[in-house]
Amino acid sequence: MKLGNRILNITGGGSDGWDVFYRARAMKAEGKPILELTIGEHDIRTHPDILNAMHASAMGGHTGYAAISGTLALRQAVADRITQRTGVPTRPNNILITPGGQSALFAAHMAVCDEGSRALFVDPYYATYPGTIRGVGAVPVPIAAHARNGFLPLASDIAAEAPGAVSLMINSPNNPTGVIYDAATLTGIAQVCRDHDLWLISDEVYDTQVWDGTHISPRSLPGMAERTLVIGSMSKSHAMTGSRIGWICAPEDVIARLVTLATHTTYGVAGFVQDAACFALAQGDAPERAVAAPFARRRQITLDLLAGQNVVRAVPPQGAMYTMLDIRAAGMTGEGFANALLDAEGIAVMPGESFGQSAAGHIRVAMTIADADYEQAVRRLLGFAATLA
């Protein structure tokens, strides 16, 4: 029996980009001491107050089917949050609650792409992006954003691939590079979308982790609210990764269609998880700042250590929980360096090649272990690179 082409082709016939991560986890399972700087998983857990709210909701009986679009209370809370932070009036009917940001990315592309549609995205990219596009039957088309330009995509490069395309996906603050798209970059992107009638899918799950610069939601730019689908999530902002709670913000007619899709796929999100998310958002900005604070500290640790050597370079991360390090002076590919570092030092990082060809010769470091351990890991990483160079 043959499986369907969509599921067979999700990785495009190659690796899913997680090989070093899987190998590190296997070594750890064997009892080897591994310092993991791989995935974007906080080293703190969900705050007990949020868990208590989740428990109280479940014990109070909110364990049956919840509204497929999301509870009105949570959709209102998300809409109010977006209105306050972007200045764009947003109503509950602009919001669909989803089982995490990844589900939202898939649903957004399902909404705007047909079988065989050309769907653009920026390279470097989060590792699931091209597979998400293939999964809905569309054709992923990468737009290179080079280190020499600070990993910012050029409007001219997007415009060159825009004819015949239906959508463009961007991510700012960016995973894996830590770059925040500035006003000029976003203005250029918006112009291309308007000129070529593209849907813009804007992944903004790191919007609470901003260290340098300002996060701008492209939905707030002229003529963009009607063509932009924004992806949000509680995972990074509130350390609720395992709760699987996110959203799509889009025009009301798009959300109405996405509710139909959810009816035939996820059938909504657990009500007690939604109530916990609603409680978390009601606490304001302070919990979000507390969750983000360790990454701001570790960013500074990284920059201070980089300043003391001249082998490894970086575009200074402006947001998110990652640093993209240029290790080309060590004479290895990102994949080769990551594997060698794991074997020699017991330190696991992600190869840049896992995130696209524009990140070749780089590694992504997740700033996700305790400060002292993180500083030790980066020192050892830099020392290892120096021996190779």
- Residue 299: closest CA among 180, 383, 210, 361: 210
CA atoms of 133 and 139, how far apart (whole Å): 7
The CATH number of whichever domain residue 238 belongs to comes to: 3.40.640.10
pLDDT, mean of residues 47-55: 98
Same structural domain, 266 and 367: no
| Amino acid residing at 57 | S
Q: For the ranges 11-15, 160-164, 188-192, 280-284, which has the lowest average pLDDT?
A: 11-15
Q: Are residues 246 and 294 in the same domain?
A: no
Q: Which residue has the tokens 């920026």?
A: 122
Q: What does the pLDDT average to over 100-125?
A: 98
CA geometry: angle 305, 308, 312, nearest 5 deg: 75
**Longest CA–CA separation in the chain, Å:** 61
- Structural domain for 352, as ranges: 5-45+287-388
Last residue of a domain, one of 282, 304, 328: 282
> What crossing angle do the helices spanning 271-282 and 48-59 adopt, rounded to 10°?
140
121 plus 249 within the same structural domain: yes
Contact in structure between 352 and 360 (CB atoms under 8 Å): yes
pLDDT of 14 over the 90 cut: no
Name which of 377, 337, 330 is nearest 353 in CA terms: 337
CATH (domain of 335): 3.90.1150.10
| pLDDT at site 15 | 72
Phi-psi region of 298 (alpha: psi -120 to 50; beta: other; left: phi over 0): alpha
Number of domains in the chain: 2
Domain boundary residue, one of 282, 306, 338: 282
Together in a domain, 236 and 362: no
Better pLDDT: 156 or 11: 156
Last residue of a domain, one of 261, 282, 303: 282
- 34 CA to centre of own chain: 24
Residues 38 and 53 in one domain: no
What average pLDDT does range 312-323 have in this prediction? 96
Q: Are residues 233 and 164 in the same domain?
A: yes
Residue 231, H or E segment: strand 228-233
Q: Which residues, 6 or more positions from 37, have their beta carbon under 8 angstroms from its beta carbon?
A: 347, 348, 349, 365, 366, 367, 368, 369, 374, 377
User: Which helix (H) or strand (E) segment is 229 a member of?
Assistant: strand 228-233
Asked whether residue 270 falls in the same domain as residue 207, the answer is yes
Based on the fold, state whether residues 176 and 58 are members of the same structural domain.
yes
- For residues 63 and 172, membership in a common domain is answered with yes
Q: 60 and 30 share a domain?
A: no
Q: Are residues 205 and 346 in the same domain?
A: no
Q: Specify whether 37 is located in the same domain as 52.
A: no
The pLDDT tens digits for 220-269 are 999 999 999 999 999 999 999 999 999 999 999 999 999 999 999 999 99
